[in-house]
């Protein structure tokens, strides 16, 4: 392996217990690069199990990102244990494939809360510590859905939530920059994960691949690579950016 990019760093990744999700792929790569990682997930047992697969010293915690008290407890506990948090990856998210007229109040609340409110709460929980230590990197997961107005699985409320993540990221970046705390967003295109695995017909697959200049879906590891860059000191002058990881499907 080349030089480890996160040696001695402490990183928190939300919604990272899914075995083939973006969060766990990111956690794995961060651990390989020397970070001590905390996996936060609604399913605490799965979070602990996922953390154990990374090796010694990594942590799995129960956390509901939509509940400010749950978030505060998780982050306060980690800061007490570690003394600092260097990286936050706001990965927790849900999607629903609904049309505009089918979005009921409960659908709106669920999708906006996990994707957008959760990103805000987790960021608020870590910002005072990052400001105090005069360093930190926040990486937020947005989506190509925010940029092109819908995707393959996400409804309009998902597009709205992920577009909200972009606005929040840029505003945070502007406000936190004087304290050397960076905030950036990743916009994955079509990525082969558990969420997408069972839902594609062969025809859909051909159509999707035809719209991607690279001719294939991305992998969770390819999104993780971008998160590693943004989290590390080699991106020390990158803040307020949105990085497309989509095989060229949104060249504009």
Query: Which pair of structure tokens corresponds to residue 244?
Result: 């497309």
Domains and CATH numbers, the chain: 10-242 (3.40.50.720)
| Contacts with 50 (C-beta within 8 Å, 6 or more apart), sequence order | 16, 17, 19, 24, 27, 39, 41, 60
Which tens digit of pLDDT belongs to each residue from 64-77? 999 999 999 999 99
pTM of the model: 0.96
Distance CA 232, CA 242 (A): 16
In this prediction, residue 150 carries a pLDDT of 85
Quote the tokens at residue 30.
Answer: 């961060």
CA dihedral 232, 64, 133, 186 (to 10 degrees): 30
Nearest Cα residue to 220 out of 19, 14, 15, 25: 25
Kindly report, residue by residue over 108-160, the tens digit of the pLDDT: 999 999 999 999 999 999 999 999 999 999 999 999 999 999 877 789 999 99
Distance CA(227)–CA(78), nearest Å, equals 21
- Res. 239: pLDDT tops 90: yes
pLDDT at res. 204: 83
Closest CA to 53 of 87, 21, 19: 19
For every residue of 43-107, DSSP letters joined together read SHHHHHHHHHHT-TT-EEEE--TT-HHHHHHHHHHHHHHHS---EEEE---------GGG--HHH
Task: Supply the pLDDT for residue 177.
Answer: 98
Pairwise CA distance, residues 200 & 71, whole Å: 35
Report the C-alpha dihedral over residues 72, 182, 240, 28, rounded to 10 degrees. Answer: -70
Write out pLDDT tens, residues 146-192.
999 987 778 999 999 999 999 999 999 999 999 999 999 999 999 98
Q: Hey, what are 83's tokens?
A: 């003394």
How many other CB atoms are found less than 10 A from the CB of residue 64?
18
Q: How many CA atoms lie within 13 A of 84 on its CB side?
A: 15
- The predicted model gives 52-59 an average pLDDT of 97
pLDDT of 229 strictly over 70: yes
Give the pLDDT band (50/70/90) at residue 1. low
Q: Is 10 a catalytic residue?
A: no
What percent of the chain has pLDDT above 90?
Answer: 88
Per-residue confidence (pLDDT) for residue 193, from 0 to 100: 77
Of 17-31, 159-173, 198-212, give the lowest mean pLDDT range. 198-212
pLDDT tops 70 at residue 195: no
Among 10, 108, 121, 158, the one annotated catalytic = 158
């Amino acid at each position: 392996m080349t030089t480890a990019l996160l040696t001695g760093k402490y990183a928190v990744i939300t919604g990272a217990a899914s075995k083939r999700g973006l969060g766990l792929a990111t956690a794995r790569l961060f651990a390989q690069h020397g970070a001590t990682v905390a996996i936060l997930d609604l399913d605490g047992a799965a979070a602990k199990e996922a953390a154990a697969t990374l090796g010694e010293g990594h942590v799995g915690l129960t956390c509901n990102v939509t509940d400010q008290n749950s978030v505060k407890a998780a982050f306060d506990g980690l800061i007490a244990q570690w003394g600092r948090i260097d990286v936050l990856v706001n990965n927790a998210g849900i999607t629903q494939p609904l049309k505009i007229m089918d979005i009921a109040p409960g659908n709106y609340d669920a999708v906006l809360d996990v994707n957008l409110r959760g990103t805000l709460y987790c960021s608020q929980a870590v910002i005072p510590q990052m400001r105090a230590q005069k360093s930190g990197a926040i990486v937020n997961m947005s989506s190509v859905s925010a940029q092109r107005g819908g995707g393959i699985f996400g409804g309009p409320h998902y597009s709205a939530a992920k577009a909200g993540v972009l606005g929040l990221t840029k505003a945070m970046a502007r406000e936190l920059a004087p304290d050397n705390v960076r905030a950036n967003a990743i916009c994955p295109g079509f990525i082969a994960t558990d969420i997408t695995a069972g839902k594609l017909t062969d025809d859909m697959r051909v159509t999707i691949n035809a719209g991607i200049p690279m001719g294939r879906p991305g992998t969770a590891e390819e999104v993780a690579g971008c998160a590693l860059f943004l989290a590390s000191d080699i991106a020390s002058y990158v803040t307020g950016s949105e990085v497309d990881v989509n095989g060229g499907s949104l060249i504009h």
